[in-house]
Structure 1
Amino acid sequence: MYSNREKKAAKKAQTAQVERHSTLKYPYRLNFYDVPPIDDITLEEFETCALDRLRVLAEIESSFARNRSYEDLKTVTLAQCDKYLPLHSSTAKSVDRDAERRKDHVGHFVLRLAFCRSEDLRKRFVKAELALFKVRYDNDDTAEREAFLSSRKFDWTPVPDEEVKLYSQQLAAAATAWSRDPNAAPPEKYFKIKWTRVTDLVSSRKVFLKGGFAYVPLRDQASMVFAEYAANLEKALERTARELPKLDEDSRIVPILDHLSQGFLAGVSSEWSSSSAATDGNQITADMIDDLARRHFPACMRNLHECLRRDKHLKHFGRLQYGLFLKVLGLSIDEAIAFWRRSFSNIQEDKFNKEYKYNIRHSYGLEGRRANYSAKSCQQILLADQPGSQDNHGCPYRHFAPDNLQTALLSMYSSQGLTAADLPEIMATVKAGHYHVACTRVFEITHAALGVKKGDGIGGGESVTHPNQYAARSRELEKAKLDALKTDADGDVTMG
């Protein structure tokens, strides 16, 4: 055990270490975002900072929708932050800490602009941002966290010793209500704060209430910090909403904000990167597609494939959605032409060449303006080119009637382990508008035999954001299992 003198010396050394890094423009990882960024920011940085932060917030929303425990949410959020929004300690020497914190700062304020537009967006944004702040608060170094708290003036009042003595019996009763030790003495230090600011502590009966104030012990200081953060952000969003009309004439920024808010409403953060998916040795042929569809395709592409096989035709947006998916999956232009020609077996050769072949070549960047078109992400499928009654494109989780969706899911995936008992959970997330969460849950169920457990998502707890991401991950899991079986078989042969 350490002596009190040793403990004081260690704390002093930690405080000094924080002070040595006070020359940072952003001295703390924790941030209440009181002051907007005033530096010059390029449009590219404006969008990139926001998109990377949105990836983190979207996964937090998915965690809420999937009823993850706080510990699971924390694990997933920290993993996402490491990938898209890292914030190293002030003692870190090998990274540009100010650059990391600037990105965090800019991204927060851009998303404020995007999500201040409606009460629903503001509530969702505050909930997700508060969860991110809690995770960072819990994960921060003790010395840095205390230095951050000391730097702010919080809206609560220390309770004088005389008042603590006056209400000692009530305070002790509140402490006993939550303490594991029924004989535990109440903490010596308390703060007074309006009870409406710490409703979580009130609902769990952890505090003494008097005259509209909650007496909060020092050990529950975090609840007051979180309440202060949420209250500040709610007020800031309301102020931003009043000022937002001034941006309406800015043709550069408004489309970016529209894109960000639409992605948040859809519950999907951004496009999965598929730039190398078709060039990593995973080339496929037209003859392979039927089998790949059965084993690896998400519901949107599985539906398009089955409609194509049934009707020997797809309308324009269906061909576009499915064709670009197959292109990124690894289907070459020659194999694509062969696949579509074979699929449109009721159409004469001349008509196919005149009306369809050009569009296929165009989607591969070989005609027209020769653009290299990417496959459509979940966000685009959910929000753009809404399907009519005669169309087959879109997202089944959003665009199918509930009864039709359940029938379709059982038809598509019962051979991969999906049962009627799984449908209530899936349909509940669909009803709540969390379509990507429903798709992710189907992925988990249908890949359980490959080692995927509930909560794993597409990998590392992440949700599906792109049809090609779903297919690519499915093929990776299958390949890993086959490689493992082959290794085991080779080992048995060698030993024999």
Structure 2
Amino acid sequence: MFKSTERKPFQQQDTAIYQASTSSHLQYPHRLNFYDKPPLFDVTIEEFETCALERLRVLAEIESSAARNRTWEESKTAIRAQAEKHLVLKQNSAKYDDLDGQRRKDHLSHFVLRLAFCRSEDLRRRFVKAESTLFKVRYEDDILTDREAFLNSRNFNTIPVLPDEKKKYESQLYSLYYGKNETERKAAFEREKYFKVKWTRVPDLVEKRRVFLNRGWAYVPSQEQSSIIFGEYENQLEKALELTARLLPRLDEDTRLIPILNNLSQGFIAGSSSEWMGENGEGTCGEEIRAEMIDDMSKRHFPMCMKTLHDRLQRDNHLKHFGRLQYGLFLKVLGLSIEEAVAFWRKSFSRITDDKFNKEYRYNIRHSYGLEGKRANYPAKNCLQIMAPGSGEYGCPYKTYNPDNLQSALLSTYSHQGLKAADLPDIMQLVNANSFHTACTRVFEITHSSCGVKKGDGVNGEHVTHPNQYAAHSRELYKATKGAAESEDVAMGP
């Protein structure tokens, strides 16, 4: 499968013919990509940011899967689902898809995120790990003909082991080969082809004792060739990121790109940024939210950050400016009208007079709804903004609370929804790994198990990136579960 001076076997000749007939017209002939060349085409600022955010969602799912200790098969399923939503990349056999358009987006998004994540050793390490995992998933999913055509298009600097050399080390090579019985092992060994590489290129195979070592060379069977390919991919990407980091200062004066790159790198830390507005820009689940419903909804549907703000408001009958802004925008996007918002805040600020409320607070409430000032439609804050440095007392509890306080708060907040002390080690493991959004997602799964949510399901297949995403889906699940129960009661009759 590797590029060499030897004549290709008939199977590989067929592969080359297939590739020529199906992808010769494509600018990007292969689905797999080592991203050797930067994109050399014009893009708008909007496309620059949008395609990178879409790829960021897929990489965030990869990190989330690792934090959850999912099996490789579970991880692949989750990654495929996210890629199907945000980073579609069909095979050459998909005749009715815009293959070049998909691969152009994949190419551009990879290089934009390189710019964002080359800035520190930690970001580079995480980016390489996530991108390598994405490449592995695509490699395993690729059909054999497309994969072989890609491999034959590159030189991986391997040395084919000739028949005489294979015969010379037959006993050593054969001892590493496994099969169901002796006859099958011998037949498979006879068909197997080997390549020589320096052992430092395949440390994982050396560790697993899957290769024969001789004078610094590792004899790699073709069935283990993916280790060479993945190692080469990681090595090239690491070098490219280091080079990009050295060149990045040239962009410092570009006021258009630097804010976008800063946001993307912070988004990777937070699990991808999101300006979630729900279906059709609303989070109402088809019903009007009234001021008197908020307290009950907070107990049933709110993520911990918003539940904390609500409880503090009810306890003190007051919130400071940034707390009011954060909680007020959350309620607005949840579906609370301006009239109901004024009623809710007036009731909550019960210790002040009507005159003081009207003079000092009513204007700010109307302003957040776009009815005063510059009349902008302000979005609710997402997890990235809530977790940002300096968010202080209105930040993410999973990030800002010490371990003992967090565990006590989790039990007091969610024990009525099924969270138990036995669940805490799983959650705290994620918190200790700084996977705060994944910890919040795990709490959602536990507290909504009665609605059919299982570990790994997340919030509609994704991890939490926005408080309104959490609350809206919680309400949807509750409404669906309640509707199903009522239908069952009607069917059973009196």
Q: CA deviation at 1:182?
A: 5.8
Correspondence for 1:229 among 225, 228, 233: 233
The aligned counterpart of 1:322 is: 327
The aligned counterpart of 1:113 is: 115
What secondary structure sits across from 1:359 in the alignment? helix
Taking structure 1 as reference, are residues 138 and 42 closer, same or farther at Cα in structure 2, changes over 3 Å only? same
What secondary structure sits across from 1:383 in the alignment? coil
What secondary structure sits across from 1:193 in the alignment? strand
Q: Is the 8 A contact 2:15 2:145 kept in 1?
A: yes
Structure 1 residue ranges without an equivalent (≥5): 1-7
Matches within 5 A, 1:16-27: 16-20=17-21, 21-27=23-29
Q: Is the 8 A contact 2:283 2:472 kept in 1?
A: no
TM-score by length of 2: 0.94
**Percent pairwise identity:** 61
The aligned counterpart of 1:484 is: 484
Q: Is the 8 A contact 2:117 2:265 kept in 1?
A: yes
Q: CA deviation at 1:423?
A: 1.0
Matches within 5 A, 1:327-346: 327-346=332-351
The aligned counterpart of 1:475 is: 475
The aligned counterpart of 1:267 is: 271
Are 2:92 and 1:87 equivalent residues in the alignment? no
Cα distance in 1, alignment partners of residues 277 and 143 from structure 2: 33
The aligned counterpart of 1:457 is: 458
The worse-fitting range, judged by mean Cα deviation, of 419-428 and 339-348 is 419-428
Q: CA deviation at 1:196?
A: 2.0
Cα distance in 1, alignment partners of residues 454 and 285 from structure 2: 27
Q: Is the 8 A contact 1:55 1:270 kept in 2?
A: no
Cα distance in 1, alignment partners of residues 328 and 222 from structure 2: 60
The aligned counterpart of 1:415 is: 416
Question: Match of 1:195, as an amino acid?
Answer: W
Q: CA deviation at 1:161?
A: 1.6
Q: CA deviation at 1:222?
A: 1.2
Cα distance in 2, alignment partners of residues 38 and 58 from structure 1: 27
Are 2:140 and 1:135 equivalent residues in the alignment? no
Taking structure 1 as reference, are residues 240 and 289 closer, same or farther at Cα in structure 2, changes over 3 Å only? same
Q: CA deviation at 1:305?
A: 0.6
Cα distance in 1, alignment partners of residues 277 and 67 from structure 2: 24
Cα distance in 2, alignment partners of residues 353 and 288 from structure 1: 23
Q: Is the 8 A contact 2:273 2:383 kept in 1?
A: no
Structure 2 residue ranges without an equivalent (≥5): 1-8
Moved over 4 A (4+): 8-15, 179-183
Cα distance in 2, alignment partners of residues 333 and 182 from structure 1: 78
The worse-fitting range, judged by mean Cα deviation, of 204-213 and 438-447 is 204-213
Are 2:215 and 1:211 equivalent residues in the alignment? yes
Cα deviation digits, residues 385-429 of structure 1 (max 9, x gap): 421xxx4x1110001121111111110000111111111111121
The aligned counterpart of 1:381 is: 386
Are 2:282 and 1:281 equivalent residues in the alignment? no
Cα distance in 2, alignment partners of residues 229 and 378 from structure 1: 32
How many equivalent pairs are there?
A: 480
Cα distance in 2, alignment partners of residues 9 and 208 from structure 1: 28
Cα distance in 1, alignment partners of residues 127 and 481 from structure 2: 40
Taking structure 1 as reference, are residues 490 and 11 closer, same or farther at Cα in structure 2, changes over 3 Å only? farther
Question: Match of 1:491, as an amino acid?
Answer: A
Q: Is the 8 A contact 1:333 1:364 kept in 2?
A: yes
Cα deviation digits, residues 4-42 of structure 1 (max 9, x gap): xxxx99987665442122110000110000000000111
Cα distance in 1, alignment partners of residues 395 and 307 from structure 2: 12
The aligned counterpart of 2:205 is: 201
Question: Match of 1:436, as an amino acid?
Answer: H
The aligned counterpart of 2:99 is: 97
Q: Is the 8 A contact 2:285 2:475 kept in 1?
A: no
Cα distance in 2, alignment partners of residues 384 and 270 from structure 1: 17
Q: CA deviation at 1:267?
A: 2.9
The aligned counterpart of 2:72 is: 70
Q: Is the 8 A contact 1:17 1:91 kept in 2?
A: no
Q: CA deviation at 1:162?
A: 1.6
Cα deviation digits, residues 164-211 of structure 1 (max 9, x gap): 1111111111224xx454661335310111222222211211111112
Q: CA deviation at 1:272?
A: 3.0
Correspondence for 1:44 among 46, 50, 72: 46
Q: Is the 8 A contact 1:193 1:215 kept in 2?
A: yes
Q: CA deviation at 1:223?
A: 1.3
What secondary structure sits across from 2:281 in the alignment? coil
